Amino acid sequence: MSSIFEVIENKGLDLEQTDYYAAILGESPSKGAKSPSLWNAAFKGLNLSGFMHPMDILPEKLEEVVKCLRQDNRFIGGAVTMPYKIDIIPYLDDLESEAETIGAVNCIYRDKGKLIGSNTDGAGALWSLEKEIDGSLSGKTVLQIGTGGAGFAVASYLASVMGVEGCLILANRSNESRDEIAGKLQGKCRVKSIDWPISSNQLDNVDIIVNCSSIGFETLKEDDEGTFSLKYYSPLGPVNNLPRVEKVKDAEKQYLRAAIDSINKNFGRSLRILAAADNPFVFDIIYQPTQTVLLFQAKLVGCKTLNGVPMNLEQAVIAFDKATVAAGLRSPNSNEIRDFMSKVR
């Protein structure tokens, strides 16, 4: 069995500093993931000898990382972030029914030696959205862009409270995942699938726009063609055939120079669509940056907006509660966790 430090990219973690530990698993959570600061505020506030560490993982090492964590009884669980919310499932021992239905995991916890997958994205999104609009989603028309791991969770929870008079409109870069989710949600509310990128008339009568895609996310991305960024784009405009640059120190600046035409095209189309709409409420579940291009444009045209910070807080509250209760460290009490986590800035 490999040591955990042989299979993660960031090697300088001190896993011995506390009696037990949690981790957030992802491509590069060490570059700004919020969960560690939230979990660690709760550990400290509750006087628990625990600490959450970010673990940067290459795709080919994910299975080995999970094996290492399973073997270490000091690991109580944690969070799963992009791009492993679906990929991690075969390596876990079991899933909660909601996570199994959704087909994605953002939380894991240890229960009697087994690693259990859960999904708290949907509950966190619904909690933050209902709180912000100060009312029910029943009968609303919601356009959701993005139907990946977090997207399915959010759509499932939204559909469950919208009722038969509500309408959930789904758009995604991949029609396959969009149509699969639409089929699973039929019966909870009216569900429609539309092509992406959307057109202006598809926002007619839309009350709420929810972005669950990664378009607008802050961190640089890489693929076989090179380095690129989605930070400069809105999900209401096209992001096809984006340029790539070399992975260098100033890669973001180089990308901005190379992509100026595609950025302008995306920005112009997105702003025209929002300006023609009837002031929908705009919710972007991205929390890095706290103001995405979509939210910036929505504010420009007078729409009320919500970023992903409250959702990120609430899903962390639920996940921390699951992990520490299953580990026998405390009794369930989400309010006390929320009190400590909400003080994190």
112 given a catalytic annotation: no
Backbone angles phi, psi at 270, to 5 degrees: -65, -45
Residue 2 above 80 pLDDT?
no
Residues 128, 252 share a domain = yes
Question: Distance between the two ends of the chain, CA-based, in angstroms?
Answer: 39
Supply the CATH number for residue 60's domain.
Answer: 3.40.50.10860
Please write the tens of the pLDDT for every residue from 155-179. Answer: 999 999 999 999 999 999 888 889 9
pLDDT at 176: 85
Band of residue 135 on the pLDDT scale cut at 50, 70, 90: confident
Both 95 and 173 in one domain: the answer is no
Residue 1, pLDDT above cutoff 60: no
pLDDT at 246 (0 to 100): 94
Can you tell me the mean pLDDT for 32-43?
94
Structural domain of residue 100, as residue ranges? 4-119+310-341
Could you tell me if 62 and 93 lie in one domain? yes
pLDDT at 103: 87
Backbone phi and psi for residue 250, each to the nearest 5 degrees, phi listed first: -105, 40
| Per-residue pLDDT tens digits for 309-341 | 999 999 999 999 999 999 999 999 999 999 999
Q: Are 275 and 303 in contact (CB under 8 A)?
A: no
- Domain total for the chain? 2
Q: Give the per-residue pLDDT at 42.
A: 98
115 and 133 both lie in a single domain: no
Q: Which of 31, 34, 85, 249 is catalytic?
A: 85
Question: Exposed, middle or buried by CB within 10 Å (0-12, 13-18, 19+), for 286?
Answer: buried
- Does one domain contain both 240 and 195? yes
Say yes or no: 294 and 329 in one domain: no
The amino acid occupying position 287 is Y
Residues 294 and 153 in one domain: yes
**pLDDT at position 32:** 84
Q: pTM, whole model, 2 decimals?
A: 0.86
β-bridge mates for residue 26, sequence order = 56
Q: Exposed/middle/buried for 31, CB within 10 Å: 0-12, 13-18, 19+? A: middle
Angle ∠(110,93,40) on CA atoms, nearest 5: 30
- Shared domain for 52 and 199, answered yes or no, is no
Q: Does residue 230 share a domain with residue 156?
A: yes
pLDDT at 66 over 70: yes
pLDDT at 148: 82
Give the rounded percent of residues in the chain with a pLDDT score beyond 90. 86
Alpha helices in the chain (DSSP H): 4-7, 35-45, 62-71, 97-102, 121-133, 149-162, 175-185, 251-258, 260-276, 293-300, 309-326, 334-341
How confident is the model at residue 339, as a pLDDT? 96
Left, alpha or beta for 175 (phi > 0: left; psi -120 to 50: alpha)? alpha
Could you tell me the two tokens for 15?
């896993």
User: Is-cis flag, bond preceding 289, omega within 30?
Assistant: yes
In this structure, are strands 226-228 and 221-223 parallel, antiparallel, or unpaired? antiparallel
Q: Burial of 200 by CB count in 10 Å (0-12 exposed, 13-18 middle, 19+ buried)?
A: middle
Same domain, 200 and 57: no
